Chain A
């Protein structure tokens, strides 16, 4: 089988990875690799201020990718334009499946603020009255959903008052073990009085604010108190595990490869009331974004 990847795709992936690692720094420098926040409908860029679609639905289903990813992470392998959003749109009818691309290295709260504003513009300018909003967030995308809900509510946006469903897929609400490990390792290495050890710590410390936020699942501006899940909305959490046997040591150590089940379900968060939560042993972190078993669960919850 010949796999051809266009130069444009490679460039997009380089931008996504560079933005994930150094997105805040790239943005501050006005660097052309920084990914701007963009909405896509059917693979085409959608102008949030003047959304023009052939058949706009009264339900918006927006999919948000994770750290260093692109919106293409949602696409089922070998099935062009097939993703959870498009499958939900088909099952629900009168639904527009949208995808978001964003700079995942920026602090999550800043992306959350921008997403809240973008959602408001989108809903207000949508060609037909919007009745329902579904937000699907993979990994960091789920944290971004929580952040946007908080800032949308704080700003009195109309979109948070719609029938709102938030799905967090493999999202590290209590932090990711890898981000936590990087944070601790950098701290320890920086204290060693040897330059050649300190350098390793400093290299680890190059990570972006977005990655730093993942170590504790921080989604609000520093100084903001912990906020509960948005009331009036339904919230669902999906987690995965590397190995099918739930209690396998690999699962205990690594969860879905990056996120533990407890973190994906926000076990340590105060006062959380999830409408539904599910765990899929044998489905790893990336495949959670495009797995038939997850799709089936979403249909059960949302259709």
Chain B
């Protein structure tokens, strides 16, 4: 492999990692954001006076948040696609989601 090729592979590799970071980072941030917000909405939901309004606000809040985070996540996914790094074992989709979140 030539130096130029190595160079390119390195930058593509970096783009792949950063793209995954953005994709998965946005998804995780969305979970944190929505679950923290739900703590407050659950309290408002127990109060009869605030319940109807809080449910509407919650639906808007969650909808807009989800749309925003998913857009960022999609951009990360696109970066990964553009980087074009492919799995050497042919199980890229598995390693993407499972290896990044193994327990």
Contacts and interface: CB of A to CB of B under 8 A. Distances in A.
Nearest to B28: A199
Given A32-B6, A202-B101, A26 B13 contact: yes
Of B17, B86, B92, chain A has the most CB atoms within 10 Å of the CB of B17
B32 A30 contact: no
B100 A28 contact: no
Interface in B22-59: 28, 31-32, 34-36
A24 B32 contact: no
A33 B11 CA distance: 8
Nearest to B38: A195
A25 B10 contact: no
Given A30-B85, A32-B6, A203-B28, A195 B34 contact: yes
Contacts of B14: 14, 32-33
Given A29-B95, A30-B88, A33-B10, A205 B34 contact: no
Contacts of B88: 27-30
Contacts of B96: 29
A196 B95 contact: no
A32 B103 contact: no
Interface of A: 11, 14-15, 18, 22, 24-34, 186, 190, 194-196, 198-199, 202-203, 205-206
